[in-house]
Amino acid sequence: MKCSYCDSENKLTDQACSVCGAPLHKKRPQLKEYVSLQDSALSFEELKDFHTYDLLVLLRLVREERSKSYNLMRTVQKAPEGAEIDKGVIEFGESEYRFYTARMKLIEGLLIDRMGYKPKRVDDKLLAALKHRMESK
């Protein structure tokens, strides 16, 4: 069995590489074909197996949804005095905002562990540069 880190040959029964000590049976993160906002609801254990590029795309989606939730929540809060707004609508908007804030912080934490920082903005330029670096290796 080849080590996915140092490319040296090892016995099938080995748990760790005899050269570098890396685990032999651990899968490295692979790029996903498609990342959607629904992926943000996955557990920490599932998200930590995402590729860094996919985490950046997911962070971008979560930040956009969080902004929409915040803007909706503020619109409802600024409604005129006479407007009848159901308490359920207000609570839903606030819970959505809290949910996406928590998911955003989780994804940012994973990115800090991998990259050493959280990107201030995830734009097309950042994603294109990362994609170019991945393809040139």
What confidence score (pLDDT) does residue 54 get?
Answer: 96
Burial of 124 (0-12, 13-18, 19+ CB in 10 A): exposed
Each domain of the chain, given as residue ranges in start order, spans 1-29, 37-135
- The pLDDT, as a whole number, for residue 98 is 95
Give, for all 137 residues of the chain, the pLDDT tens digit: 888 888 888 887 788 888 888 888 877 788 888 999 999 999 999 999 999 999 999 999 999 999 999 998 888 878 777 777 777 878 888 999 999 999 999 999 999 999 999 999 999 999 999 999 988 87
Q: pTM of the full predicted structure? A: 0.83
DSSP state of 9: B
Query: Quick count: other Cβ atoms within 10 Å of Cβ 55?
Result: 22
pLDDT at residue number 121: 92
pLDDT at 91: 86
